[in-house]
């Protein structure tokens, strides 16, 4: 099922790949106006002396408000005053009055800066030249104190979190500027971003945008006549339809793709970052499970939930990551990218993960069980929606109906479906047949990955009482691979109305299949990145592929993805045609 | 304890003809109920919930003490704020492990937490984080015996010991419209100790509880005070229906020959007395049901303290399915050998071992020891006093008499901390031995100290003028005065040599000296003078 790339020695590849990068890269954009084109590609070392925070934020805010009317990605924008305060803050003097503690703070800050040179979002230089830091949106299931944290659910409609999530705190401390919160599937349950109390998120492109894109390519390229794939697809023009952004972090993905921000935080439980990344054409990274603090991430399925990053490029993702510490076209793309990797010095072999075919059923059993448990705190007693007419004179027996009213009003149908499924698989009669089996299956899938990777899973030996590191033959398996390359989704983004009709149906299994490619690495907890590799010659919509590494090997995943992305931009011959197009600016213009 | 009178249902005529009681602890039915020998044995098991003594809660950093302002000490996790995470308190593991070892159980090196789901306002998460299949401790036992006042030995096995979250407190009698919830207790660390059904009477249950409370207090893992709710108890009561060989079963732990009736659980008992009464009334009730030709059903009951009866609160049919699942936010915990061995080294002496040693080392009787154990902290004081060379009998006499009287008088101020050091107390006792002070002086000094006087002993003595008259000449002068003032008695004494008259003179002299003369010496002087 899967092909994968093997790097015999990661040091070796690094050298081959860097020489390739010395060629002049096409990976630059010429944006002129924030009001028209949104944010620029984040560049750490550019000094912009003319930068006017007030004007910039005004323009950006107007740009977002206008564009968001169509895509519905952003559900709350932070007040301009707050944003400006964040940008112009003289770090850190106004927060510390005591000179001693100020000094300590400064020392702590600078030492943390120097300890990780890649922590590029806010070097001291940037703050002094008053450049904005990384501009970011946050998925609405991550707690922030400045705006509501709703999880796109009625049950938390007016919920104001009393604390900031650890990831948000770290980002702000490092100079990132948070612009607001993004739309999502209710509590993260879904892969389309349509099941939201705020309405569905729409793809930044519609079907005709895709056709236009293919048109531009075919009209400008000399060899267009020789490309029957493109010609046929353009001729099959139909009326304009909206496309699905993917989910559940669809709002974050569209916000990045629409140039509202440089990066956005999402959450990935079974592919919620990677699937929308693939469909909207941005980078989506799911770190190893547990590597980014989940404190402040509102739990959906807590043994799989991971904070993820959606970003304009791997470079930006990497920065983020360090800060937080934290069809046919698809098949063609997969083969082509494998070839590109081989040309870059990698060894590509086939590998099989025999148990991943049970991934989807395993995944849906486990997440519904955990969701049913995690949703049980929304009882309306301490916070959130409470059914009117529900008093709290609860004395044991009739408490049930009062809980029931509150919860059936506050929670959406997909959430209820998963609660009921979860309660069923955890009930005495079904537990052993479903839940226990799913836990076993999960172990087998994890074993599949461990067998394939050359690096041993650190969680396997970290628990032993060891005085020193285990032997090299325990840590490395010579016949294993370093990274696995696989598709993120079976197709490009589907037409939105198709999905809407599905959600009205009681049968949502069709939608669950969207997750088939992404859940195995979620179940195994291993780091996975989705990189946009090009566009489908059929409809002009983006295609993303995933690279997965062993648990804890996040750096290698990011490094190779970064090199791969640069190489893809270099190789895409139609790149020059799309300088100021902000709908698909982040995708290499290669056709598959 | 006479069980035959206490436990038989009231309407059953005692000693009905032809069916004598075979054993005081067994019961039998009238002839029309079953055909043959019909004896019951009560089968009782306990579930004890002890709040662990800690500065912070099981999964959060807030203070779990019970006597604070309502809802004043809460962390995000205590009230299930979305996105908040549990952080396991290491000290809880330490205290739980200590308890497991003290009760002779085995610590599970791999232990984990589970979620137990049910909706109730006192449960903010909608589930309780508890332990199920991999509790921290499995097995163990306590033996009741001579030190507990039983004339036989009863080994009560412990099934498992687990760590779990306490619930919030609902208050439903202060406001007619609303129930109020105090979340201060929410998430405090509890230890649940589950016994096997090895208990055969209410008396044994109470003695077992007393003993386990003493163990928990000795190793300082819990305050274990039922009156403040830091220890609560559920009991399970059923009757054994297998009527053969009842006599043997009473003395055996093997349950193989038992054919237990349906199990009835009585929840939330919060005093030793209610445990005793609930078990006794439940045994009586179950027998009555059988007498009336009814069936005992498996259910949960509660105990009404005023009516002294149990009443049904939940039948088996409505028993919830708790849908246990692993708590993924807390990974499986691996306890190292080294860590467990270290705890073993830190454990204090267990009560039974200590009692044995006290009996051997100081020659105290079991009754004497149990008297001292009424205030367990006093044992240490007693041993320190003895180590200063004071005769143990003398030390026991003074501590169980005067010190206990003063502690009880000032209760509860000094139960933990006596306001006199063992050194000071030892030197007082020595002064009596050396005739430097009289017993009544020492009593007065102790009273002064317990009344809150912080001065040193010599200061107290000198301020109150309680010095013995050392100078013999002064004493002789005093005695001479008394003799001169009582010529009649002198006459009488000289003729009869009556010792009671001697006592009269001594008493007069002591009174005149305001208690500062030692009776033996005065008596000698009078004898000399009247020779």
Count of A–B CB contacts within 8 Å?
A: 102
Report the chain A residue with the minimal C-alpha distance to residue B336: A465
CA dist., res. B414 & res. B407, Å (int):
6
Residues of A in contact with B179 (CB under 8 A): 392-395
Does B18 touch chain A if contact means CB atoms closer than 8 Å? no
Say yes or no: B85 contacts chain A, CB-CB below 8 A: yes
Q: What is the pLDDT of residue A277?
A: 95
**Chain A contact for B178 (CB, 8 A cutoff):** yes
- For residues A550 and A527, give the distance between their C-alpha atoms in angstroms, rounded to a whole number: 7
Of A151, A373, A463, the CB nearest to B127: A373
Whole-angstrom Cα distance, residue A357 to residue A437? Answer: 15
In angstroms, the CA B63 to CA B380 distance is 30
- Kindly state whether residue A439 falls inside one of the protein's structural domains: no
Contacts of A462 in chain B (CB under 8 A): none
Judge contact between B87 and B59, C-beta under 8 A: yes
CB of B318 within 8 Å of a chain A CB? The answer is no
Structure-derived torsion over alpha carbons of residues A194, A200, A205, A207, reported in degrees to the nearest 10: 70
Residue numbers of chain B with a pLDDT score lower than 70: 1-39, 241-259, 315-318, 468-471
Nearest Cα to Cα of residue A250 among A384, A368, A365, A152: A152
Cite the active site residues of A.
Answer: 139, 248, 272
CA distance B84 to chain A (A): 6
From the list A296, A298, A379, the residue facing B119 with the nearest CB is A379
**A100 cis-preceded (ω within 30 degrees of 0):** no
Is A166 exposed, middle or buried, given 0-12, 13-18 or 19+ CB atoms closer than 10 A? Answer: buried
Which helix (H) or strand (E) segment is A233 a member of? helix A228-235
Could you tell me the residue ranges of all domains in chain B? 3-18+27-322+330-334, 349-464, 472-529
Q: Which of A289, A146, A259, A257 is nearest to A193 (CA)?
A: A257
Interface test with A, best of B76, B86, B325 (most A CBs within 10 A): B325
CATH topology of domain B472-529: Arc Repressor Mutant, subunit A (1.10.10)
Partners of residue B338 in chain A, C-beta under 8 Å: 465
* A349: β partners: A4
User: Is A140 inside a domain boundary?
Assistant: yes
Residue A340: predicted pLDDT: 87
Q: Is B46 helix (H, G, I), strand (E, B) or coil?
A: strand
Q: What is the dihedral of CA A373, A374, A379, A383, to 10 degrees?
A: 160
pLDDT computed for residue B506 by the predictor: 84
Where chain A has pLDDT below 70, the residues are 1-32, 43-51, 87-132, 221-239, 318-326, 389-400, 462-470, 497-510, 576, 578-582
Distance CA A495, CA A585 (A): 21
CATH code assigned at A482:
3.90.1300.10
Q: Is the separation of the CB atoms in B170 and B181 below 8 Å? A: yes
Which residues from B are below 8 Å from A372, CB to CB?
A: 117, 323
- For A436, the closest chain B residue by CA position comes to B325
Interface test with B, best of A166, A426, A525 (most B CBs within 10 A): A426
Determine which of B61, B83, B85, B320 to mutate to test the interface with A (most A C-beta atoms within 10 Å): B83
Axis-axis angle for helices A413-426, A359-374 (nearest 10): 100
Residue B477 is predicted with a pLDDT of 82
Which of B195, B169, B166 minimizes the C-alpha distance to B182?
B169
Within a domain: A168: yes
Contact call for B83 and A302, based on CB within 8 A: no
Q: Which helix (H) or strand (E) holds A283?
A: strand A283-286
- Residue B403 CA to residue A488 CA, distance in Å, equals 80
Q: If DSSP codes are grouped into helix, strand and coil, which group holds residue B110?
A: strand
The alpha-carbon gap from A379 to the nearest alpha carbon of chain B, in Å, equals: 8
Residues 467-496, chain B, touching A (beta carbon < 8 A): none
The interface predicted TM-score (ipTM) is: 0.82
pLDDT of amino acid A223? 57
Residues forming a β-bridge with B181: B170
- Domain span at residue A518 reads 2-356+477-578
Please indicate, yes or no, if residue A456 is contained in any of the structural domains.
Answer: no
Q: How many domains does chain A have?
A: 1
Q: Name residue B42's beta-bridge partners.
A: B239
Residue B328 CA to residue A299 CA, distance in Å, equals 11
pLDDT for residue B19: 36
Three-class SS state of A335: helix
Residue A261: inside a domain: yes
pLDDT of residue B309: 86
Residues of A in contact with B111 (CB under 8 A): none
In angstroms, the separation between the Cα of residue A535 and the nearest Cα of chain B is 37
For residue B323, give the nearest of A585, A430, A382 by alpha carbon.
Answer: A430
d(CA A297, CA A542): 29
Inter-chain touch B85–A161, beta carbons under 8 Å:
no
């Amino acid at each position: 099922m899967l092909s994968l790339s093997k790097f015999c020695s990661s040091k070796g590849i690094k050298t081959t790949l860097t020489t390739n990068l010395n060629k002049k890269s096409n990976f630059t954009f010429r944006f002129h106006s924030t009001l028209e084109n949104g944010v620029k590609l984040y560049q750490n070392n550019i000094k912009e002396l003319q930068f006017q925070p007030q004007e910039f934020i005004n323009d950006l805010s107007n740009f977002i408000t206008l564009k968001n009317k169509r895509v519905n990605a952003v559900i709350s924008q932070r007040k301009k005053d707050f944003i400006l305060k964040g940008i112009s803050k003289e770090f850190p003097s106004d927060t510390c009055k005591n000179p001693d503690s100020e000094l300590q703070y400064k020392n702590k800050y600078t030492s943390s800066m120097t300890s990780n040179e890649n922590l590029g979002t806010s070097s001291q230089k940037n703050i002094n030249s008053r450049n904005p830091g990384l501009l970011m949106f946050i998925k609405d299931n991550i707690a922030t104190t400045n705006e509501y944290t709703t999880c796109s659910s009625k049950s938390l409609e007016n919920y104001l979190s009393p604390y900031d999530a650890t990831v948000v705190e770290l980002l702000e401390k490092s100079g990132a500027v948070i612009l607001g919160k993004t739309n999502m599937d209710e509590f993260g349950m879904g892969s389309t971003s349509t099941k939201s109390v705020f309405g569905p998120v729409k793809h930044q492109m519609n079907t005709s945008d895709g056709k236009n894109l293919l048109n531009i390519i075919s009209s400008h390229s000399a060899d267009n006549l020789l490309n029957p794939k493109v010609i046929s697809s353009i001729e099959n023009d139909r009326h304009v339809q909206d496309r699905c952004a993917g989910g559940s972090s669809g709002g974050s993905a569209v916000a990045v793709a629409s140039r509202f921000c440089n990066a956005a935080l999402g959450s990935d439980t079974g592919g919620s970052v990677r699937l929308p990344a693939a469909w909207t054409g941005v980078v989506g990274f799911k770190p190893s499970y547990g590597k980014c603090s989940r404190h402040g991430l509102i739990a959906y399925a807590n043994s799989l939930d991971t904070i993820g990053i959606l970003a304009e490029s791997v470079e930006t993702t990497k920065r983020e990551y360090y800060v937080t510490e934290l069809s046919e076209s698809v098949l063609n793309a997969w083969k082509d990218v494998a070839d590109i990797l081989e040309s870059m010095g990698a060894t590509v072999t086939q590998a099989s993960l025999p148990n991943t075919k049970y991934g989807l059923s395993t995944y849906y059993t486990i997440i519904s069980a955990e969701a049913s448990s995690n949703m049980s705190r929304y009882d309306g007693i301490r916070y959130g929606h409470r059914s009117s007419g529900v008093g709290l004179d609860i004395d044991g027996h009739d408490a049930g109906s009062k809980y029931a009213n509150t919860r059936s009003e506050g929670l959406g149908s997909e959430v209820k479906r998963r609660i009921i499924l979860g309660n069923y698989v955890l009930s005495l009669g079904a537990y052993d047949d479903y839940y226990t089996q799913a836990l076993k299956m999960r172990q087998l899938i994890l074993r599949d990955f461990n067998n394939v990777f050359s690096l041993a899973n650190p969680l396997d030996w970290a628990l032993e009482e060891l005085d020193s590191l285990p032997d090299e033959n325990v840590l490395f398996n010579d016949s294993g691979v370093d990274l696995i390359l696989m598709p993120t989704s079976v197709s490009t983004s589907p037409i939105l109305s198709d999905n809407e009709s599905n959600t009205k149906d009681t049968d949502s299994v069709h939608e669950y299949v969207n997750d088939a490619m992404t859940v195995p690495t979620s179940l195994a907890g291993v780091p996975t990145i989705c990189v946009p590799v090009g566009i489908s010659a059929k409809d002009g919509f983006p295609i993303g592929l995933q690279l997965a590494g062993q648990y804890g090997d996040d750096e290698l995943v990011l490094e190779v993805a970064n090199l791969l992305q640069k190489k893809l931009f270099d190789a895409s011959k139609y790149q020059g045609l799309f300088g100021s197009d902000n709908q698909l600016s982040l995708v290499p213009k290669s056709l598959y | 304890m006479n069980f035959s009178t206490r436990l038989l249902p009231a309407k059953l005529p005692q000693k009905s003809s032809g069916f004598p009681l075979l054993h005081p602890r067994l019961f039998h039915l009238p002839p029309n109920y079953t055909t043959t020998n019909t004896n019951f044995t009560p089968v009782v098991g306990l579930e004890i919930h002890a709040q662990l003594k800690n500065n912070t809660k099981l999964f959060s950093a807030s203070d779990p003490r019970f006597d604070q302002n309502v809802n004043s000490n809460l962390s995000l996790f205590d009230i299930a704020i979305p996105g908040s995470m549990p952080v396991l308190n290491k000290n809880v593991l330490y205290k739980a492990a200590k308890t497991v070892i003290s009760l002779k159980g085995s610590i599970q090196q791999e232990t984990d937490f589970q979620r137990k789901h049910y909706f109730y306002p006192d449960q903010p998460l909608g589930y309780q984080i508890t332990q199920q299949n991999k509790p921290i401790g499995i097995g163990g036992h306590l033996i009741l015996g001579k030190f507990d006042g039983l004339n036989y030995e009863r080994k009560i096995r412990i099934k498992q010991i687990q760590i779990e979250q306490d619930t919030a407190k609902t208050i439903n009698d202060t406001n007619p419209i609303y129930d109020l919830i105090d979340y201060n207790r929410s998430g405090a660390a509890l230890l649940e100790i589950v016994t096997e059904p090895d208990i055969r009477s209410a008396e044994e249950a109470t003695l077992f509880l007393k003993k386990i409370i003493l163990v928990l207090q000795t190793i300082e893992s819990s305050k274990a005070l039922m009156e403040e709710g830091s220890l609560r108890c559920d009991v399970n009561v059923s009757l054994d229906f297998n009527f053969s060989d009842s006599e043997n079963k009473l003395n055996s732990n093997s349950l193989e020959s038992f054919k237990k009736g349906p199990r009835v659980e009585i929840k939330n008992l919060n005093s030793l007395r209610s445990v005793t009464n609930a078990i006794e009334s439940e045994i009586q009730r179950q027998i009555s049901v059988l007498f009336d030709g009814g069936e005992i059903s498996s259910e949960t009951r509660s105990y009404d303290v005023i009516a002294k009866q149990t009443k049904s609160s939940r039948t088996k049919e409505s028993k919830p399915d708790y849908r246990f699942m692993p708590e993924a936010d807390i990974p499986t915990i691996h306890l190292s050998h080294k860590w467990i061995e270290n705890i073993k080294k830190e454990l204090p002496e267990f009560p039974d071992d200590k009692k044995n040693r006290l009996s051997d080392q100081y020659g105290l009787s079991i009754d004497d020891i149990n008297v001292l154990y009424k205030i367990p902290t006093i044992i240490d004081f007693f041993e320190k006093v003895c180590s200063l060379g004071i005769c143990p009998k003398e030390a026991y006499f003074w501590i169980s008499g005067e010190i206990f009287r003063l502690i009880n008088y000032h209760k509860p101020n000094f139960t933990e901390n006596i306001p006199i050091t063992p050194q000071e107390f030892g030197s007082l006792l020595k002064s009596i031995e050396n005739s430097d002070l009289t017993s009544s002086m020492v009593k007065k000094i102790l009273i002064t100290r317990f009344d809150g006087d912080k001065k040193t002993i010599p200061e107290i003595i000198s301020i109150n003028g309680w010095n013995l008259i050392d100078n013999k000449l002064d004493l002789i002068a005093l005695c001479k005065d008394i003799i001169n003032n009582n010529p009649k008695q002198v006459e009488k004494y000289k003729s009869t040599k009556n010792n009671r008259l001697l006592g009269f003179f001594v008493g007069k002299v002591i009174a005149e000296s305001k208690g500062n003369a030692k009776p033996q010496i005065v008596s000698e002087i009078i004898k000399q003078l009247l020779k």
